[in-house]
Amino acid sequence: MSRRSCRIAASLIALPLPLLLIGCTSAGGEHPEINSAMARESAQTPPPVSAIPKIDSANDKPLPLDPYLVNPRQLSTINKAYAKSISLCMARFGFAYKPPVESPGPRDSDAPVTRIDGRYGHQNARLMMKWGYHPEGGVLASQSSSEASTRKISPDMVVAGRGSSDPGKAFGPGGQIINGKTVPYHGCMGEAVKELTGSVDGALYDPQIAIDVKLKTLNEAQQDDRTKAAFAKWSQCMKIRGFTYKDPLAAGGDPEWRKTSKPTAHELKVATADAACRHKNNVVGIWYAVDSSYQEKVIASNAAAMARVKTDLESKMRTAMRVLAN
């Protein structure tokens, strides 16, 4: 599970524990069949690209890995089911507790619906002219208080919630007796994860395999000579307009943009030039085509492992829908 997903899941229950959730600590290397296959692929010839679309944005285009990764709609469903499962478990111990369901955060109006991340940075010329590299509407002020964060949490609720009263541990073995009921392993949070994934150590969102292949193909597509050639043309185009950046990611990731909640005049000029140079050199079209080819390759080379990822996601969604329906 990604660190961002871990934060979302952990925030669903307002208990004083580190931002850690079962399934969040898995690291690469625990799936030898897919890791060895990916290592072999790295030394092979880059995959061919059959066709390159002429597009300015790929946010409305599907990618081969989409069916294997949690999308925004699925994320919302999982969060709601996870919160409800925790609430029902806590009720067994006599606590009327409803964890707040956190949304993934604001998304631009052109954000993809088949995946969480857009992969190619800001792409909509109209939005870039108005909002630069900021999210649409600017950076919203964080909400520092809520009913959940101000509600008093008793020691027994903490134990029931995570199976431990030790503030230095995210979770505990459970076994405590509260109001005549035995606390499950890792508390109600662990029970909720087990209900949704089939294992108390299950991945509530994307398993490590899916994260590995997502990041691997993202890096490969960016480092591919065809993509880098498009980046070079883009960079030259930007230089003519007075801006020096190696590639679109460098422009979008300029730390200067994070200093303000709304875009500055300079940021808007850079973003407008960025969009124009992307269009002129079909940067997104080339990038998307190359990225798709690497994704198709890794799926085909790891068919069995990826099939399990897809099956597990489908099973998790069926369970989440059942939890919400009951």
Count of Cβ atoms closer than 10 Å to residue 292 Cβ: 23
Q: For residue 141, is pLDDT > 60?
A: yes
Helix 72-92 vs helix 187-197: angle between axes, to the nearest 10 degrees? 130
Residue 48 located in a structural domain: no
Length of the chain: 326
pLDDT digits (tens, 9 = 90+) for 282-291: 999 999 999 9
Does residue 304 form part of some domain?
Answer: yes
> What φ, ψ does residue 60 adopt, rounded to 5°?
-100, 10
Q: Is residue 47, in this structure, part of any structural domain at all?
A: no
Domain that holds residue 235: 3-41+57-325
More confident residue, 170 or 70: 70
What pLDDT is stored for residue 107 in this prediction?
83
Is pLDDT at 3 greater than 50 in this prediction? no
Query: What is the structure's pLDDT at 140?
Result: 73
Q: What are phi and psi of 24, to 5 degrees?
A: -85, -20
| CB distance 306 to 213 below 8 Å | yes
Number of domains in the chain: 1
pLDDT number for residue 19: 26
68: helix, strand or coil: helix
Q: What is the pLDDT of residue 22?
A: 35
pLDDT at 188 over 70: yes
Answer yes or no: is 126 within a domain: yes
pLDDT (tens digit, 9 = 90+) per residue, 250-300? 999 999 999 999 999 999 999 999 999 999 999 999 999 999 999 999 999
The verdict on residue 52 lying in a domain is no
Q: Average the pLDDT over 214-223 and give the result.
A: 97
**pTM: predicted TM-score of the whole model, two decimal places:** 0.83
Given this model, what pLDDT does residue 142 score?
57
User: Above pLDDT 90, what percent of the chain?
Assistant: 73
DSSP state of 67: G
Contact 78, 204 (CB under 8 A): yes
Question: Percent of the chain, pLDDT > 70?
Answer: 82
